[in-house]
Amino acid sequence: MNRYTVVRSHKPSYSFQIDKRNIGIVLLLSILLAAVAIISIGLGSIRIPVSEVLRSLVGVADSTHQMIVINLRMPRIVVSLLVGAALAVSGAILQALIRNPLASPDLTGTTTGATAAAVAFIAFSDGKFSIQWLPLVALAGGFFASTLTYLAAWKRGVSPYRFALIGVSVSTAMSALTVFFMVAGPLYLASQALGWLSGTVYGTSWDHVLAVFPWIAGFLLIAVVQARNLNAQELGEDVARGVGVPVERKRLLLVAVSVALAGSAVGIAGGIGFVGLMAPHMARKLVGSSYGTLLPVSALLGALLVLLADLGARTLFVPLDIPAGVFTAAVGAPFFMYLLYKSRQG
Amino acid sequence: MPFLLSSRIQKSVVLVAAVAVLIVAVVASILLGLQNFRFSTAVEAYVSFNGSNEHLIIKNARVPRAIVAAFVGGSLAVAGALLQALTRNPLASPSIFGINSGAAFMIVLSLFLFGPVFSFTELMWVGFIGASLTAVMVYMLGSAGRGGMSPVKVTLSGAAVAAFASSLTSLLMLIDNMALEEALNWLIGSVSGRDLRHALLIVPYLVCGWIIAWMLAGSLNLMSLGDDVAKSLGQKIVWVKAGIVLVVVLLAGGAVALAGPIGFVGIIIPHICRYLIGYDYRWIIPYSIVFGAIFLVAADLISRFLLMPKEVPVGVATAVIGVPFIIAIVRRKAHE
């Protein structure tokens, strides 16, 4: 019996390969994620037992609990999941395209560019900004910064190391611009922007979920459909061309998807760093590097990371609500150094 | 290799001219801003001080600011030049080594642990320690693994260490608001609002650093030929390297203690100097001091006018000028 199952369709044309052994892993991760999400809903300044959480979800709990679960905690959980999945898939795509294990939306200027644009938007819209537009603005900023990095790194092709060095510089410039916009705007908005900068899902409502859901879900779908092109891209330009992939066109599309995912995640949750770096690496350890399963597993792991980070941020320093991005960076930066160290060993 | 200025006389003349430009820049920085003063008012503030608003602004705000900018700029530039010589890495500079964020983290950590019991001088030393620890850590990470130290590894480990330090810094600050207020000075790079007495406390250390750097210049010239050649010519490599590290920590740590994180001066200025006068460190050190000072005084002056009446922190201006510069360096060199 064949180890792989291929899901294929000719119109619209897509296909991806699923390793049967990995279906179990995907199921297991989904169950784990659901369990953590439900436990996480129950934890907080008011503790709600798991059974009560489940009853609230189907709408038969008492009205206070129902209100807390549905209106306060659920949106935050859902946004964490969406943001984590988007960042992880964005990172996975970049790592395939640049063929560089260190690639992540934080390093290409995408995250910082999106942040700068969002802060500018908050600062100059005079406090009357609408949350609906924020993902779109952040997206545009992310696109601008990553285009800048890509163009500046282009010199008869993009070398991974040049890309990384220039990405770090562009990120620095974007952070400087962020400070500039914060200084330029009114003071009370600056403090609002500051909390958001370090990456938090605090105070999200269903409005936030609705604002960001179509973007992230849509681009995730495109990413999965494009998985076979990612497989080909990772083999190198010549092989990709050899198996009939229009390399440059597909690469542009994939970069756009990656930037759009990271941009919209930043638009809603601010700069939650290093998830796009860590999740794909963990996923690769679990299921290998065929993108048909790698993308969904990355998405699940990314969602889990952000969920756990936010859970820690919410509950470790009660009554304070620490931005989740602080935790992802505290775990992610040492991980990054480890990768850096390892990549030169082999 | 031919450089713009080849003979000794040319180099001396340009250096003197640059000092003149620096003086003009400092005077402009004292006179221009939200309020413009006449030169005679500035002189009167010191000759016949009458307690008027104008005299107070000049004495307490403008003059300290110009002095701090000049000394910090010069020190950062020299620290950058030394780091580039030590690592033979064109991108080495205090900000790439994460020194700024390390210093800020140590200061916030000690405020968090012990509360606001420190004097400014003590905090300065804490900043020094943080800066040196971070520098050593990034240096070790950057040279770990096979292939030794490479520009890309140092840059990336610097970025990672900086991200790590600043995430811990913001965690501490969010837990403890007290630390935030005290630490704010060290988190935003700026040369305004510094007390002249504090500045004068640090300036001697900086000047010491400059002098030692200049004394090391001959050894630096030999070092740039490679460790083996330098050793065979009678250099005590270990001592020279230790001396360089000491000076870098002195200069970069002092600059951070005085002005907070101001990036890119340490990258840009040594490159401009080398472009002008070549690779002789006996000239690069004094040129870096003067050009670094001019650069930061001018950047501070510009950032004053950008969003009048608000002030943009000068670190923002140096970053915006610095990034295109780095991109050009990265594109020129083959790092593969």
Strand partners, A15: A8
- pLDDT, tens only, A254-310: 888 988 898 888 878 877 878 888 888 888 888 887 787 888 899 999 999 999 998
Kindly provide the b/e burial profile for residues B129-148, where b requires at least 16 CB atoms within 10 angstroms of the residue's own CB.
bbbbbbbebbbebbebbeee
**What pLDDT shows up at residue B183?**
63
In contact, A265 and A216? CB cutoff 8 Å: yes
**What pLDDT shows up at residue B117?**
73
Enumerate the residues of chain B whose CB falls inside 8 A of the CB of residue A168. Answer: 155-156, 159
Could you tell me how many residues make up chain A? 346
* pTM of the model as a whole: 0.78
Handedness of CA B129, B132, B134, B137 (dihedral sign): negative
Q: Quick one: which of A34, A87, A77, A142 has its CA closest to A283? A: A87
- Chain A nearest-CA distance from B127, in A, is 21
pLDDT at A15 over 80: no
Domains and CATH numbers, chain A: 76-303 (1.10.3470.10)
Q: Is residue A202 classed as helix, strand or coil in its secondary structure?
A: coil
- Percent helix, strand and coil across chain B, each to the nearest 5: 75, 0, 25
User: CB count, 10 Å around CB of B240?
Assistant: 19
- Chain B nearest-CA distance from A108, in A, is 12
> Which tops the pLDDT comparison, B134 or B238?
B134
Average pLDDT, chain B: 82
- pLDDT, tens only, A151-202: 888 777 666 667 777 887 888 888 888 877 877 777 666 666 666 666 666 7
CB A168 to CB B155 under 8 A?
A: yes
Q: Quick one: which of A36, A75, A16, A65 has its CA closest to A211? A: A75
Residue B242's pLDDT band (boundaries 50, 70, 90)? confident
Kindly provide the b/e burial profile for residues A191-211, where b requires at least 16 CB atoms within 10 angstroms of the residue's own CB.
ebbebbbbbbbbebeeebbeb
- pLDDT, tens only, B47-101: 888 888 888 888 888 899 899 999 999 999 999 999 888 877 777 777 777 777 8
Helix (H) or strand (E) holding A19: strand A13-19
Kindly provide the b/e burial profile for residues A311-326, where b requires at least 16 CB atoms within 10 angstroms of the residue's own CB.
bbbbeeeeeebbbbbb
**Is the CATH code 1.25.40.320 the one for domain B8-30+37-188+195-332?**
no
In contact, A306 and A324? CB cutoff 8 Å: yes
In contact, A300 and A85? CB cutoff 8 Å: yes
Report how far residue B335's alpha carbon sits from residue B1's, in angstroms, rounded to the nearest whole number: 22
* Tokens at B29, concatenated: 């920085």
In the stretch 105-164 of chain A, residues with CB closer than 8 A to chain B read 106-107, 152, 155, 159, 161-162, 164
Q: Quick one: which of B334, B328, B305, B302 has its CA closest to B317? A: B302
Could you tell me how many residues make up chain B? 336
- pLDDT, tens only, A315-328: 887 777 777 888 88
A66-75, B31-40, B79-88, B109-118 — which is least confidently predicted? Answer: B109-118
Q: Quick one: closest CA in B to A102, which residue?
A: B156
**What pLDDT shows up at residue B182?**
59
**Beta carbon pairs, A and B, within 8 Å:** 128
CB A179 to CB B326 under 8 A?
A: no
CB B164 to CB A168 under 8 A?
A: no
> How much is the average pLDDT of B151-168?
77
Helix (H) or strand (E) holding A237: helix A237-242
Q: What one-character-per-residue DSSP string does A289-334 give?
A: S-HHHHHHHHHHHHHHHHHHHHHHHHHTTTT----HHHHHHHHHHH
Q: Residue A311 CA to chain centroid, in angstroms?
A: 17
Q: Is residue A142 classed as helix, strand or coil in its secondary structure?
A: helix
The ipTM assigned to this model is 0.72
Instruction: Report the residue from B159, B170, B323 with minimal CB separation from A198.
Output: B170
In contact, A86 and A214? CB cutoff 8 Å: no
DSSP A223: H
In the stretch 301-320 of chain A, residues with CB closer than 8 A to chain B read 317, 320
In contact, B168 and A325? CB cutoff 8 Å: no
Enumerate the residues of chain B whose CB falls inside 8 A of the CB of residue A274. Answer: 163
CB B174 to CB A320 under 8 A?
A: yes
**What pLDDT shows up at residue A208?**
78
In contact, B213 and B78? CB cutoff 8 Å: yes
> How much is the average pLDDT of A219-234?
82
> How much is the average pLDDT of B112-125?
76
Q: What one-character-per-residue DSSP string does A29-96 give?
A: HHHHHHHHHHHHHH-SSS---HHHHHHHHHT-S-HHHHHIIIIIIHHHHHHHHHHHHHHHHHHHHHHH
Enumerate the residues of chain A whose CB falls inside 8 A of the CB of residue B322. Answer: 173
**What pLDDT shows up at residue B123?**
77
Q: Is residue A3 classed as helix, strand or coil in its secondary structure?
A: coil
Q: What one-character-per-residue DSSP string does A151-166 give?
A: HHHBSSSB-HHHHHHH
CB B263 to CB A323 under 8 A?
A: no
